[in-house]
């Protein structure tokens, strides 16, 4: 996987708005797609690991879907809160005896109270 | 369970020097990977170790090297530092495919 694209690069939303981000990848030659949340001065925190085409995962107000056939994954946040402000990273990877991840540049979300 | 720890957290070096960064994985994790983040770039894969063996290496010059010890702790070394090596270096430990990241070491090269 050479190029993982995430859009938009940044996003400002009002508290209570719902939002979604896109991660696109040119090849589905990987074992799993990972989503991370990365807050400033903290470690990236794993949100989801998805392995199957059509996978949908949910954690509270955050959910994600994976479409390996068309090469994209969506992350949804319902009712954004200020504490959701962070950079969201997607990273396909793993397979062929390696756990290597290829990261996109991320989507920086700012939730305005 | 303790998370991934990295030392030091901050480091300032001058061009031409060398530096060693350390990563202690989560207990029981045998795989450690290293990533570099420079301004404007996503996290770039450096290398991956599993049971003391380098399993995979990213597209970085030979000045970047690493190793893993029998207790799974890992070190990475950068020799002959260049200004462009200024970055945040993250390590991640894995039991299976999920990777858990440390807080990173911020290296500044002057």
Which residues does B39 contact at the CB level (< 8 Å), separation at least 6? none
Contacts with A, B 88-107, CB within 8 Å? 90, 94, 97-104
Q: Is B93 exposed, middle or buried (0-12, 13-18, 19+ CB in 10 A)?
A: buried
Closest A-chain CA to B91: A43
Joined tokens for residue B99: 């990777």
**β partners of residue A106:** none
Look at residue A13 and tell me whether its pLDDT is greater than 90: yes
Look at residue A96 and tell me whether its pLDDT is greater than 80: no
Give B3's pLDDT tier (boundaries 50, 70, 90). very high
Joined tokens for residue B37: 């983040």
Stretch B39-52: mean pLDDT, rounded?
Answer: 92
**Chain-chain contact of A91 with B43 (C-beta, under 8 angstroms):** yes
Residue owning tokens 């990977």: B33
Looking at residue A2, its pLDDT comes to 64
Q: Which of B44, B56, B102 sits opposite A98 (nearest CB)?
A: B56
Stretch B31-48: mean pLDDT, rounded?
Answer: 93
Looking at residue A98, its pLDDT comes to 82
Of B55, B65, B58, B76, residue with least CA distance to B6: B76
User: Percentage of residues in chain A with pLDDT exceeding 90?
Assistant: 76
CA–CA distance, A9 with A12 (Å, rounded to integer)? 11
User: Percentage of residues in chain A with pLDDT exceeding 70?
Assistant: 97
Joined tokens for residue B43: 């996290």
**β partners of residue A5:** A24
Looking at residue B103, its pLDDT comes to 95
Stretch B5-33: mean pLDDT, rounded?
Answer: 96
* Helix H or strand E encompassing A49: strand A45-50
Question: Which of A24, A43, A52, A90 best tests the B interface by mutation, with the highest count of B CBs <10 A?
Answer: A43
Looking at residue B63, its pLDDT comes to 97
Q: Which of A44, A97, A99 sits opposite B33 (nearest CB)?
A: A99
Q: Which of B40, B48, B100 sits opposite A98 (nearest CB)?
A: B48
CA–CA distance, A63 with B101 (Å, rounded to integer)? 21
Closest A-chain CA to B56: A98
Give A1's pLDDT tier (boundaries 50, 70, 90). low
Using one digit for the tens of pLDDT, what is the confidence trace for A33-78?
999 999 988 999 999 999 888 889 999 999 999 999 999 999 999 9
Which residues does B6 contact at the CB level (< 8 Å), separation at least 6? B21, B22, B23, B24, B89, B90, B91, B102, B103, B104, B105
Q: Which of A4, A34, A99 sits opposite B48 (nearest CB)?
A: A99
Distance from CA of A88 to the nearest CA of B (A): 11
Distance from CA of B78 to the nearest CA of A (A): 20
CA–CA distance, B101 with B6 (Å, rounded to integer)? 10
CB A87 within 8 A of CB A109: yes
Closest A-chain CA to B103: A43
CB atoms within 10 A of CB A37: 20
């Amino acid at each position: 996987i050479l190029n993982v694209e995430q859009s938009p690069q940044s996003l400002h939303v009002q508290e209570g708005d719902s939002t979604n981000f896109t991660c696109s990848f040119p090849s589905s030659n990987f074992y799993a797609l990972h989503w991370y949340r990365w807050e400033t001065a903290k470690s990236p925190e794993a949100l989801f690991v998805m392995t199957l085409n059509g996978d949908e995962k949910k954690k509270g107000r955050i959910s994600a879907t994976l479409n390996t056939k068309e090469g994209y994954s969506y992350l949804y946040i319902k009712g954004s809160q200020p504490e959701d402000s962070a950079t969201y990273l997607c990273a396909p990877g793993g397979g062929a005896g390696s756990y290597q991840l290829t990261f996109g540049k991320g989507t920086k979300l700012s939730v305005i109270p | 369970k303790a998370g991934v720890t990295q030392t030091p957290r901050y480091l300032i070096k001058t061009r031409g020097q060398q530096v060693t960064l350390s990563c202690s994985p989560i207990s029981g994790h045998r795989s450690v990977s290293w990533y570099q983040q420079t301004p404007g770039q996503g996290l770039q894969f450096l290398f991956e170790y599993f049971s003391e063996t380098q399993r995979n290496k990213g597209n970085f010059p030979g000045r970047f090297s690493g190793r893993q010890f029998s207790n799974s702790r890992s070190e990475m070394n950068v020799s002959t530092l260049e200004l462009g090596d200024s970055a945040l270096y993250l390590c991640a430990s894995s039991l299976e495919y999920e990777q858990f990241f440390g807080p990173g070491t911020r290296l500044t090269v002057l």
